[in-house]
Amino acid sequence: MSINIDKKTLQKNLGKFENYFTDDAWGQTEIIHQRAVYYNDKIYIVYQKSAATTLGPLDPYILYYDLSDQYWSDPVNIGTNPLTQDSHGTPAVIIDALGYIHVFFGSHADAGTPKHYRSTNPADISAWTAQTNMPVTYCTYPNVVKLSNGNIYYFYRGGSITSATEWYVVSTDNGTTWGAETEIIDFGAGYSIYMGKIVVDANNKIWMIWTKNVEAGNTREDIYCAYLNTDGKMYSPNGTDLGATISLSEADTYCKVWESSGAENSLGTIAVSTDNYPRVLWLNKTTKRQYFSRWTGSAWVSPVMIVNTDSGAPYGEAGLILNSTSSYECYMCVASPFTKYGTVGGDLCKFVSTDSGANWRLEKVILAASENDGVNLNQANVVYDYQSNFKIVITSQVYETLFGVSNWQMKNKLYAYGNNGLIYRRYYW
């Protein structure tokens, strides 16, 4: 007599219980978004890994977590990454108005156009169809969002590698075709744009936070914020019309959140509440302090230090969730005394504020480096349209070369967290 038991039953009842959902994510680039999206009671997550035991192409994979069944799917390969020995091709994901899943991957600077694959069927990761190449010739760090009308905006860093600017293309037909490239931020020769998180408010304003890289010293300085309106123009937080493209002088005058005065900072994180005003986070990499500020409707409040992270995170990817106009959650990494490998990141901690960010307190250490084989945690990516029981995806990564192995050759664990804690997975294979 034979007994057939499906994988879902096996995962729920048998095998080893682990607090991570994969341990073979290779060389993740944390400033690419979206990394995880919610749709119809499932969270879809993309990452890259090598199919070989030694480093091969870092191909894109996707899996999902079913919130109702509390079940992790098996990962599925989407396509082949054209980049070799380069982690910048990390995939980004978005789901269109018809439920088709779109994944973009495999581009860095002038190394070809980004690859675009669409799920063959809506809300189904089992099969994928390559799409026509997007009209983008120089692309790094994609950042994809969707408006309430279904339009999909694909933002990216383009232009010269030493004077990179920010661009976007938009699709009005669920990713079937794309409009022409549009440049929105250009600081001129000697400066490059590093974009942080991009979010959409209830009025379809696309808010963004970024920093400028001073190429002469290769330092990322100052924090800026603006939004792209549906009329195709860029605006400062106070509504000043800055036209199609923001210059350095315009950004310094109308968009600056924080003047770093030569100190280096992270790219920044942004969220918008029901009042349609942005709240922002950034890390001062010189002092290693994490700061918060918010737009009042007329000015930025003085920066509030949340914590001294004592961590030299290169990008400072923190997660910011707004429960109301005054109640906030911040997920960030604080240096751990028990770290064995790496100097970037640390323990993943949750800080909360109930007074509009004026004061913050540590609520809990979600995951310590000591619980991750001594490897630091260093990224907290908020899920696009997150749910209370599944809010963030956490990455562990070593940025330095260890034992003669570069960071992009190292496998990393990925974790998930919601209001009920870390989301576990059983491994039966």
pLDDT in tens, 215-263: 998 899 999 999 999 999 999 999 999 999 999 999 999 999 999 998 8
Structure confidence at residue 266 as a pLDDT band (50, 70, 90) = confident
Judge whether residue 137 has pLDDT over 90: no
Over the range 27-61, which residues count as b (16 or more CB within 10 Å of their CB) and which as e?
Answer: bbbbbbbbbbbbbeebbbbbbbbbeeeebebbbbb
Q: Tally Cβ neighbours within 10 Å of residue 106.
A: 28
Peptide bond into 409 cis (omega under 30): no
Structure tokens belonging to residue 188? 């001129």
What's the CATH number of domain 7-427, 2.120.10.10, 1.10.10.10, 2.50.20.10, 3.40.50.720?
2.120.10.10
Q: Quick one: pLDDT band at residue 164, thresholds 50, 70, 90?
A: very high
Give me the amino acid identity at 352.
V
User: How far, in Å, CA of 283 to CA of 288, rounded?
Assistant: 6
CA–CA gap between residue 361 and residue 227 (Å, rounded): 30
Residue 165 has pLDDT above 80, yes or no: yes
Residue 110 has pLDDT above 90, yes or no: no
What mean pLDDT do residues 26-36 have? 81
Q: What is the mean pLDDT of residues 197-220?
A: 95
At 96 the pLDDT is 98
pTM (2 d.p.): 0.94
Cβ neighbors of 44 (< 8 A, separation 6 or more) are 36, 37, 38, 62, 63, 64, 93, 95, 101, 125
- What's the whole-number average pLDDT of the chain? 89
Residue 274 — pLDDT band, cuts 50, 70, 90?
Answer: very high
pLDDT of 326 reads: 98
pLDDT tens for residues 346-387? 889 999 999 999 999 999 999 998 888 877 887 889 999 999
